[in-house]
Amino acid sequence: MAQIVRRAYKYRFYPTPEQADELGRTFGCVRLVYNKALEERTRAYITEGHRISYMESSAALTRWKRTKELAFLNEVSSVPLQQALRHLQAAFAHFFAKRSKYPTFKSRKKSRAAAKYTRSAFRWRDGQLTLAKMRDPLKIVWSRPLPLRAQPSTVTVTRDPAGRWFVSILVEETIPPLAAVKTQVGVDVGITSLLTLSRPVNGLTGEDGKVPNPQYERADRRRLVKAQRNLARKTEGSANRAKARLKVARVYAGITDRRRDFLHKLSTRLVRENQTVVIEDLAVRNMVKNRSPARAISDATWRKLRSMLEYKARWYGRQVLVVDRWFPSSKLCSACGAQRESMPLTVRTWESTCGAVHDRDVNAAKNILAAGRAERQNACGAGVRPQRESSRTRQPAAKQEA
């Protein structure tokens, strides 16, 4: 059955000087409203024990606009300001539900410059997008078409640290499911090889079933180090330092763009060619606390790949199963089921008691697939848990073989 999903299409655009000034003021006002509302909420909770609601913050925003000091808030669209209060409300909801830390203030240099416009704050006509307080439509580079007869519900404008402008258009889209297939695949992630699959795939892996890790950050590390050293030599607050910071941001942007493009293509192919994809649950946030592999783990972006697999599987009628992080995928023999007591990371090939010789990663991928199949047959199977459920063990969060 086809699904109706809310999908965002992101495009780059080139604003006119007037539009850039208007958006720059809007970004500043959004940041100010967010920080001021956060300050008021914190003060009220500490001094009075009172939790300020969204409606109270909205009423306070109206009062701020009437003051002489903050009258400039009337010069920009009111919708992005209201959306900033909604984002703050959501941040506090996550905090009180113990899903995140206490909200922090937005920084002009470190926080993302963004403004969100709802349907009443923009005009969509004949394939052109015009934001509130602007006379001319945005000059958007349509790298791919929007769905036929799509009507945007919200528009988010952002400017990244490299100075590039982007607009994200949220629409409702009907996505038909893919034709069912019988293939299933187990996925073991790594650093030397980004993925190891339980079976080889033509054009994607070698004969050993391994997907090489592009290591985009490592490939551009020399350029990055050079740009960062140049930045460190500049005087704080000078124009030359701002130019040097922009060069560093552009190097990072190139790394991020190539990595994202690679992960999108990889995840799309895995979802299209397999009915079920079984992956391993990893506590990446805790793993990067180890300084030795932290840089390589961050460059691999396992968490981003998992997120892509999960939402694309929902779109196209596929299934992603997650094996518990404590499942001994590397220690088990995929042929006879015998388990070794220990498996140091230096051991890449080992021989089981039955005489089978295993590549460590390929064997782990086969065991992950077998555990996923067991979970489908028995939802309460040992060592396997449903998708997105956090581990309740109190052991250090790391891969079992580590």
**What is the pLDDT averaged over residues 54-81?**
95
Predicted pLDDT of residue 225: 95
Domains, the chain: 3-175 (no CATH), 184-212+260-377 (3.30.420)
User: Alpha helix (H) ranges present in 154-290?
Assistant: 216-219, 221-232, 239-273, 284-287
pTM: predicted TM-score of the whole model, two decimal places: 0.84
pLDDT digits (tens, 9 = 90+) for 186-239: 998 888 888 889 888 888 887 788 888 898 988 899 999 999 999 999 999 899
Mean pLDDT rounded to a whole number for the chain: 87
Question: What b/e readout covers 40-57, taking b as 16+ CB neighbours within 10 angstroms?
Answer: ebeeeeeeeeeebebebb
Q: Do residues 166 and 158 make contact, with C-beta atoms less than 8 angstroms apart?
A: yes
pLDDT digits (tens, 9 = 90+) for 88-129: 999 999 999 999 999 999 998 888 899 999 999 999 998 899
pLDDT digits (tens, 9 = 90+) for 261-306: 999 999 999 999 999 999 988 877 777 777 777 888 888 888 899 9
Cα–Cα distance for residue pair 364/278, rounded to 1 Å: 12
Give SS3 for 187: strand
pLDDT digits (tens, 9 = 90+) for 335-383: 888 788 787 777 788 778 787 888 888 888 888 888 888 877 665 444 4
List 280, 281, 310, 375, catalytic entry: 280
Helix (H) or strand (E) holding 81: helix 78-96
- Answer yes or no: 18 catalytic: no
- Answer yes or no: 401 catalytic: no
Residue 312 region, left (φ>0) first, then alpha (ψ -120 to 50), else beta?
Answer: alpha
- Answer yes or no: 207 catalytic: no
List 217, 281, 324, 361, catalytic entry: 361
